[in-house]
Amino acid sequence: IEWVAMELSNYGASLRRADVDALFEGFPISPDFVFPAYVNFSRPFRTTIWIAGAQEAQRAVKELDGTTVKGRAISVKVVIEATYEERENMAREVADDLKKAIINAARIYYPEHGTDILEVRKYVKGITHYAFLQARAPIIVRSDPTEDVGLSENKASWEFIAAGTSRVSNDSQSDYDLIALKDLLATVERQGAAAKAWKNWKGS
């Protein structure tokens, strides 16, 4: 199957996954699309939808572009029509959105790291792409110069919190870093909710 990337944009903040599913009803889309997990008013809302077949992609543009959804005339276009730079920028923006959503979720589900510095890092080993959520305590800089001698020993080490992964396959169109980030977000939310349930239960 040839999967074609579609850009859905100009929708409002109230749009939900169910609205996207309803909009593309009758079209063979992949259910594994990245939907913004938080509101970002600095740029227009947009997400990428994968649809099976170039003909179906063109039909989607013809039938859905300009459709009014929740009071907004949405835009539907084939991503391949964009330049390489535009596609790269889109991928970076989606990655940034996912990283922010991961950290926001961690602030909710892991209150023990409330004062820690949280960071999302990617790592590739062989055919596996990793997205790690890590935390460390802030480094305290002392005001007394005589105490700065020991500053080099005041280095906080990173602590592992959670990870997401993806493995390279024959699907050359896949963005494995984005898949790993999405998996990390799902892991943080799933494990965080489970940890909260366990704390209420306390293993008894």
Tell me the Ramachandran region of residue 37: left when phi exceeds 0, alpha when psi lies from -120 to 50, beta otherwise.
Answer: alpha
| Size of the chain in residues | 204
pLDDT tens-digit profile of 152-169? 444 568 999 999 998 887
pLDDT tens-digit profile of 43-102? 557 788 888 888 888 999 999 998 888 888 888 988 755 566 666 776 777 788 889 889
Structure tokens at 40: 């970002």
Cα 131–132–133 angle (5° rounding)? 130
Q: Does residue 87 sit within a domain?
A: no
Last residue of a domain, one of 82, 109, 134: 82
**Do 108 and 74 sit in the same domain of this protein?**
no
| CATH code assigned at 60 | 3.30.70.330
Tell me the pLDDT band of 105, cut-offs 50, 70 and 90: very high
Q: What is the pTM of this model?
A: 0.58
